[in-house]
Structure 1
Amino acid sequence: MSSRHSVLKKIVFCQVHGTRIVIYNLREDDQGLLELDFDTDPHDIQLRGVNRDEKKINMATQFPNSRPFVTYKHSLRSYVSILYLRLPPAFRIILRGRDVEHHNIVNDMTD
C-alpha cells in the first residue's frame, strides 16, 4: 500500500467526527535528521536541535507539575495540554495514540 493511499485512508476515517493533522514536507538538517523529533518520546512530537532547551527539559524532570509550562515551546504534547483554558464535555486531544492530559494554567499556578 502506498504511503499516499495510507494517508488518504486515515483522512477518510475522520469524516464522522474529529480533526486529524498531517505533518509533511519536513526539512532535514546537515546530518539528515528531520526538524521534528518523533523518536525521543514515542508519545510526543518535539523540536530538534537549537530549539530544544535542555535546561528546561531537566527542570521539567525535577518538577513534573510544571512540565507543560517549561516545555511548551518544543513539545507538542505540552503545548496542546495548555492550549484551552476549559475543555468542553467529552472533548479529547489524542497525540500519537495517547490522550493529552489537560492543564488549566490558572488552577496550576494557584496550587
Structure 2
Amino acid sequence: MLGHVNHARALSLLEDARLAMVDGRPGGSMILARLEVDYLRQLYYRVAEPLCVSGWVTRLGTKSVTVRQELVQDGQVAIRADVVLVRFDFATDASRAFTDEERQHWTAFLEG
C-alpha cells in the first residue's frame, strides 16, 4: 500500500536466506536465539525485482553461530541483521554442541 516492504516481510526474506545456508545439509536443526535488525533505508516493493541477501558467519561457538546478513536494493544495504542461531536437539529439548561435520559446514561461511 505504501510502496515499500513491511518490516515483518523483510524479516521473512532474511529467514529464507538463512534457510538456504543450511538447506538439508549438516548444519540444520537450529533455533533462533537472538535477532538484531537495523533498517537502514526503505525497502521498496517492486514486482518481479530480485533482491539480494548476503550472509556470512561472524562467530562460530560451541553450540551457536552468529550470522551477519545484508539485504541490498539499488546497490545499497537496506537492512542489516545479526542473528544468533543455536544448534538444538528437539528430542531432548536442549541445545547441544556442533558435530565436527556441522562445524565444518558453518566454517565455510566464515568471513575473512
Band of TM-score, shorter chain: under 0.3
Higher Rg: 1
Q: What TM-score comes out, normalization by structure 2 length? A: 0.24
Q: Which has the higher contact order (CA 8 A, sep 6+)?
A: 2
